[in-house]
Amino acid sequence: MNPSLVVGMMVLSGALMAFQGPINAALRSHVGVFESSLISFLVGTSVLVLIVLFRGEGSLGAVRQASWWQLLGGLIGALFVTTTLVAAPQIGVTGMIVAALAGQVTAGLLIDRFGWVQIPAKPVDLPRIAGLALLIVSVVLINWSNWRKA
């Protein structure tokens, strides 16, 4: 797949994720924190069940050959969704996103550097480290007013 198309897809999905925290936080006001996360995952799971039924090309039974750590994606997703629905009303969507992004980039650099979770190792160079440093500065600047109020 064309790398520009992949980047564009990630930008679009990232933009959509900006809505996920506030949408789930709004639902939380009606049903509760964990209930909101559960409903979010049930809706997503329902859509995926339909997609797999009508378009699925893999094998769900092959999950028996997967390593235990390959099943952690759902747990990580549940933690992320629950944290964002708590964070969005408290620190705002921008503060939430930049903090999450800093965590993602930090972990991404480590995954790339050490080749964890079956990703081919890639060198971490100065521009990537500088990018992370600028992102950390962004976390501080964007959340500064939240920390001053505390």
Q: What is the mean pLDDT of residues 81-86?
A: 93
Range of the domain at 104: 3-149
Residues 119, 112 contacting (CB under 8 angstroms) = yes
| Percentage of the residues of the chain whose pLDDT score is greater than 70 | 99
Locate tokens 């990630």: which residue?
10
Token pair, residue 129, equals 């480290």
Q: What is the mean pLDDT of residues 46-52?
A: 96
> What's the number of domains the chain is made of?
1
